[in-house]
Structure 1
Amino acid sequence: MTLTSTVDAFGVMIEPSVLKIERVLPGPAERVWAYLTEGELRQKWLAAGDMKLVPGATFELVWRNDELSRIPSNRPDGFGPEERMNSQILEVDPGRRLVFSWSDGSEVSFELTPEGEEVRLTIVHRRLPNRSTILGVSAGWHAHLDILVAQMESREAAPFWDAWVQLRTEYEATFPG
């Protein structure tokens, strides 16, 4: 896999502080739902952490992006080997929709739409507070979703940090200042 992504894989700003990014994944929807909600599967592409799927329940996400690929990667300055974030479940429609809070006051929704043997995963990240966050979050979701696709297709993912650095530069050129 190359670090250069296709244009249709890129997230789009659907409002000034709202990012939308999609991927079509191998189904069924129950399998994709498990990768979103089960900590052991989610840690393979995003972040570890158990979550109780009840509105109002709190949980912690634990990122260890260095561990998302067996290929070594160069972590950018300012990032540690582990990041933690407290979140809260806001909405759950099992197998279809999950919404939770993000530590900066933003929120993330995940929607699953079956498309034959595949499933469209739509992520909408709302209330992104500033340009720097928009660029980092856009590159982050993009890189994490590329890893999810690789994971679900049983192939090696590109190194997270190398992809993130390149994608952040590409998003900076794509999204107006």
Structure 2
Amino acid sequence: MRANKIQAIADNAYGTVLESGAVRFERLLPGPIERVWAYLVEGEKRATWFCGGDAEPRTGGKLDLFFMHSRITGERPPESARKMNDEGWLSGGTVTAFEPPHRFAFNWVGMGEPDSDIEFVLSQAGDKVRLVLTHRRLVTKDRMAIVSSGWHLHLGLLEDQLLGQTPRGFWSAHEALKAEYVERQRDVG
């Protein structure tokens, strides 16, 4: 019974496929909500768990996404990610919703064709903050698996930041988690 409960909790951390090309994640995080919001929209804080870069605080504003994974993990990356890890990689987009401290959404340009859409929604859940992340327009199963495993790991790093914990592994878990998301896609068709 205990093993089933632990597996159910672990399964809950996985993203859920909403429709073809869309994945949704839900997390309960330590608040307050304004603190979680700051980790989504402030480049220096966002850089500790996902990517840095400025975000114009308005719908229609410009968004820079600067990825440098050496800032979020001390683990050695695979060769395919070495340049991004060591030198960084800049992409960006447009803010499509900016409703502090509840909704932040953007169109992500440069991650693949077509551009994709990301939405974060925050709400109070007792003494916690419910974060719901939806990523849409992921047109291939490979893109879906890469993005899903990436968000899974990045959201874990966000939780670590909010809890003041040592960040968990990123590269050490990435390939196995990507394979798990590939397998989960087979299960849903």
TM-score, normalised relative to structure 1: 0.91
Q: Which has the higher contact order (CA 8 A, sep 6+)?
A: 1
Match of 1:56 in 2: 60
Q: Residue 77 of structure 1 corresponds to which residue in structure 2?
A: 80
Contact 1:13 1:20 in 2 (8 A): yes
Is contact 2:27-2:132 (8 Å) kept? Answer: yes
Whether 2:20 is the aligned partner of 1:10: answer: no
Alignment of 1:96-175 (within 5 A): 96-103=102-109, 104=112, 105-175=115-185
Larger CA deviation: 81-90 vs 24-33: 81-90
Contact preservation (8 Å) 2:142, 2:182: no
CA contact (8 A) 1:25 1:118 kept: yes
* Maintained 8 Å contact 2:25/2:132: yes
Correspondence for 2:48 = 44
Partners of 1:9 and 1:137 in 2: CA distance: 15
Number of the residue aligned with 2:30: 26
Structure 1: 5+ residue stretches without partners? none
Cα deviation for residue 66 of structure 1 reads 2.5
1 CA distance for matches of 2:120 and 2:82? 26
Structure index of larger Rg: 2
Q: Which has the higher helix share?
A: 2
TM, length-normalised to structure 2: 0.86
CA contact (8 A) 2:153 2:170 kept: yes
Residue 94 of structure 2 corresponds to 88
Displacement over 3 Å in runs of 4+: none
For 2:27, give the aligned amino acid: R
Q: CA deviation at 1:166?
A: 1.8
* One-letter amino acid matched to 1:150: D
**Cα RMSD (Å):** 1.7
**Residue identity in the other structure for 1:98:** F
| Distance in 2 of aligned mates of 1:173 and 1:129 | 17
Q: What are the Cα deviations for residues 49-107 of structure 1, in whole angstroms up to 9, with x where unaligned?
A: 0111111111210111132124x233352553222212110111110001100124110
* Equivalent residue letter for 2:52: A
Tell whether the 8 Å contact from 1:66 to 1:161 is kept in structure 2 after alignment: no
Runs of 5+ unmatched residues, structure 2 = 1-6
Counterpart code for 1:127: R
